[in-house]
Amino acid sequence: MSEIKHTSGPWQWDDDEVWQEGYDTEQHAPWLVGPEGERILTGRIHCLSESDSRLIAAAPELLEALQWMNNLWQCTCALNGWEPEHAREYERAKEVLAKATGSQP
């Protein structure tokens, strides 16, 4: 697996109400923080839904899971043979990982 260049997870919002209607970003600018409380994202942020808020906070864990699954997929398919749809989805996952990590697919 490639070296981690982003702030490791888990990430969380410093205010669980960042997504709620009526959240006043003029009064409180929420922070997305890492496991040691280090700031990852700050400013006048207002997620429009709780699901978007959770997705953003889960980003490092999603990335790690996709990396592990893609490596396992590659090993399994190398041993058992590549079906066309497996190869397509493996390449798609590689492209998403490259986008997320800023590397070449």
* Residue pLDDT, tens place only, 13-38: 777 666 667 767 666 777 788 888 88
What pLDDT does 68 receive?
92
Question: Is 83 part of any domain?
Answer: yes
Token output for 76: 């399994």
- Please say if the pLDDT value at position 2 is more than 60: no
Question: Three-state DSSP class for 32?
Answer: strand
What residue numbers bound the domain in which 36 lies? 9-57
16 and 39 share a domain?
A: yes
Q: From CA 87, how far away is CA 103, in angstroms rounded?
A: 20
pLDDT at 25: 67
Count of structural domains, the chain: 2
Say if residue 53 is in the same domain as residue 15. Answer: yes
What is the rounded CA–CA span in Å between residue 79 and residue 81? 6
What pLDDT, on a 0 to 100 scale, did the predictor assign at position 1?
Answer: 47
- Whether 68 and 52 share a structural domain: no
Q: What is the pTM of this model?
A: 0.71
- HSE (CB half, 13 Å, CA atoms) of 97? 22
* Closest to 21 (Cα-Cα) out of 57, 49, 43, 54: 49
Statement: residue 85 has pLDDT above 50: yes
The pLDDT score that the predictor gives to residue 57 is 86
Let me know if residue 2 belongs to a domain: no
